[in-house]
Chain A
């Protein structure tokens, strides 16, 4: 995988449903993986920063896991609420020319239906 890919592109779920998204990234020269939440007309806000294979992070009803060997991360939302409606971006950081360089995925747009 050369690019950072997110799936699905969009998702509609009912309030109370649990859901998950996938981020696939290059496993070579891996440095860190970020997840961001981006609401319409606002700026992206960080959810998680993960660096180690097997990392698991949790913030309220949202959690994420990281597999650096196979190059993927999952974001889980338990009991989705309408306020969870947003685009969720992942960003893969790698080492390039001695510097840390980032590539964002195109995001998963989540709509939670009340």
Chain B
């Protein structure tokens, strides 16, 4: 049981490049979410999914796309990276809001 996995752990992008952050879980959780962590701002919700095929925007969705074709995977796509997207990104999963979330190890992204 690997829990929540994220790849890559670190990434450096140039402004304008695109990339996908991968997130997978093996706990059959319906709810998955992406957060970014910036100094002094805690965790901010980017996008979330309540099940395969269902996604919705969080607090800071601009510049990011998601899709959920399977229960296990929830990739986050940066369409055209900007320096403002430099952050640490966490993926999390849970059965629902009435259950604890399990977090992945995080991806540290730097956009130059």
List residues of chain A with CB under 8 Å of any chain B CB.
31-32, 34, 36, 43-46, 49, 51, 89, 91, 93, 97, 99-107
Contact = CB atoms under 8 A, between A and B. Distances in A.
Contacts of B98: 31-32, 49, 51
The range of chain B's interface size is 20 to 34
Contacts of B48: 99, 101-102
Interface string B37-71: 00011111100101000001011000000000000
B99 interface: yes
B103 interface: yes
The main secondary structure of chain A at its interface with chain B is: strand
Contacts, number: 57
Contacts of A46: 100-102
B100 A43 contact: no
A6 to B, nearest CB: 8
A104 B101 CA distance: 12
Q: Which 6 A-B pairs have the closest CB atoms?
A: A46-B100, A100-B97, A106-B42, A43-B103, A93-B97, A104-B43
A43 to B, nearest CB: 4
Contacts of A44: 43, 90, 101, 103
B39 to A, nearest CB: 10
B31 interface: yes
